[in-house]
Structure 1
Amino acid sequence: MNRASPLSILLVEDDPADARLVDLELRPYWERCRLRRCASMAEAQAWLKENACDVVLLDLSLPDSFGFDTIRKIHEAAPDIAVIVLTGFDDEDFAMRAVEAGTQDYLVKGNADGALMWRSIQHAVARKRMEEELRLAKQRLQAIIDLAHDAIIVMDEDSRMTLFNPAAERTFGYRAEEVLGRPVEMLMPERLRGMHADMVRGFGQASDPARMMGNRPELLARRSDGTEFPAEVAISKVDHPGGRLFTAVLRDISERKRTEEELRRLATTDPLTGVANRRHFLEAAAVELQRLRRYHRPAALLMLDIDFFKVINDGLGHAAGDLVLVAFALICRDSLRSADLIGRLGGEEFAVLLPETEMQGGVEVAERLRQRLADSPVDVGSGVARFTVSIGVAECRPTDESIEATLMRADRALYDAKRSGRNRVRVGTEEATG
């Protein structure tokens, strides 16, 4: 509404004397308002249907309408209009009931001079405008909450949920009515509930109003069926007269975690055999060497090379060679401990890291692998491929400057095995490095 435009005022009053009194009181303000009178509810409803109005001065005792139901009928005819009740009762309880029924103010007939009436009209119009803006803001906020793809959960100071949006229902498998009023910890795995409660209390005492928790190692949530999933959460807090409220925005990152895991697997795994690729193996072995230096724990390293692999490729084809490499990797993984790491360094050359293993233990593992691989022919479709391996064994030493020094000893032992006739195990010693 343009502030320069006169206010349109509808007086709904059946008593001519009371109507005349309102007209007289507002006469000093005629340049700033336009007054229209209706003597019944039916007349007022018909006029409002055809005309715009800023405020209604409403008598609650009309020939065709009485009491607070009169307010409802006016709002049905013009929902966005400001309403001031004209009453003969100067009663605070009545005033509160009138406001609760949807009015912006009330005036006692005979006690309201022109200045008071004009001020009440202006305030009622401004208040109605603010109420409408607040209603629209709430409506927009509710639409955002309802349409959000992320779960939005509001909880009170006792961690009891007061809001649970549709995305939260889809994420957790609960209906809002099933969780409202219940502790938010029900959405967490039981083993983590105490930790979560401590975290919320700590955040409540902190000075920051909001906090992202996506940088935590892992935040797990729990669905209604008991399944757990990784989540990313942002939490904020706000104080209001009813107490402090916490708002959590939660996103299920299961798919992202799967994608990250797949990318990690692709970055660290040999695509053909599924074992560690060269880079990942060397990085893991370097970490093991550092652990060995710090804690003085033993470790052994094996270098393995398939004997006469070129003959397999040339005689049976590269597809057959790939099948042999895959079978080789499967047999090795099946024969090793979960803590052991096998990697493909290139071509038909592999390495195995054996943590917590002395040299003698490494030789025994190598011999078992050699024998099992020799006894495991591979069906390659066009025939059966039999193969053997040569293995070099070296002990990881605290004095090794890098894991490459250990690899060099194992590699020289491997070639010693090949020079000695293949299909055998040799140990890397100082003499072997000359």
Structure 2
Amino acid sequence: MRPLAGIRVLDLTRVVSGPFCTMLLGDLGAEIIKIEEPEHGDDSRAFGPPFTGGESAYFLSVNRNKRSCAINLKKPQGVELVRKLAMRCDVVIDNFRPGTTDRLGLAYADLRRDNPALISCAITGFGAEGVDANRPGYDLIIQGESGIMDITGDPHGLPTKIGTSIADLVTGQFASQAILAALVERARTGQGKHVDIAMLDCMASLLTFNAGIYFTTGQSPKRRGNAHPTIAPYETFRAADGWLNIGVANDKFWQLFCQVLERPDLGADPRYARASERVSRRGELVPIIADIIAAQPRRYWIAALTRAGVPCGDIRSVAEVCEAEQLTGRGMIVEMAHPTAGTVKNILSPFRFGGDDGGDGDAARHLAAPLLGEHTAAVLAEHLDIGPYEVRALEALGVIRCHQAETAHG
């Protein structure tokens, strides 16, 4: 039994931040009822190419372990179905703009009045209040607004977004953490509460030492490419046949590093003895190191530095990571059967608990992302006691959508 077995989540989210949050909860064992717009479903179902079996690879990557229930929230009957489902859930989560749930007739206060133990979570771009509250919040926009892009990229080039949807993903992680904390509190008090998660808040919190530099000096940190503002050498170097990362994070590693470079003179040089001195003299020190590293291939340096205990690493492609023995050996790559896409592979959440096998046996506990409306009839039957006749009537009225395979099976 997984940690969140028995917890039911009503998922009104779409695209990335909310779906990533609910996928994390689903990986931990929660039942995730994903409410989707009946005609097109989650926006990310259309994000592509690539598609496989008619399904977007993007959608498949952040929606495993969920049941799709297609309900039209533009219909009063659809809103009433969702309201009734919320009465039978532990958590309801959305990533609408502020005020949308009120306009739909699904205000948090009303839902919690019907179900005092309900935990509600709203993910927005800028928060529920403030001058920017009503602005739409997409990952690219938040990366820029949060200061992250201003400190990312070549110092002589453009501000650069991080290569994954970091604002969405970090927000989903923070939202799942807050929901778990609210569940723990509810276990003590019996009462639910509302959680307000803003993407801007989440990304700004990642500034940590960069914000600390500003608060201490009054100066805003600038882009340094792959160099670290307070550690040197701690960056990317070109070897004879490609790139690698080297992280000389303290004075002990510096001495070991100089031994590997066969430059004991650098290790003995008082100008570079302490970390702060290496940072202040990085302009003269890094070119010396770069010339040495360029003389040998990556494998040489990674082997030599690893033997010496100096942190280093290759710069792998996504393909290399997905096939890496370290991940596959720990059961981090799961294969799941999908009705139209065949075998779907995902990288799992990094949770490990005592007793988990972490290997092939773990695959049986995970379900591939659902087809649109795949579980509509089943969810309504299980949780609202709505039978096949009423399901067909609701579908005829455009209130719900059932996947054809489910309808035929029913």
Taking structure 2 as the reference length, the TM-score comes to 0.19
* Rg (Cα) greater in structure: 1
Highest relative contact order (Cα 8 Å, sep 6+), 1 or 2?
Answer: 2
Taking structure 1 as the reference length, the TM-score comes to 0.18
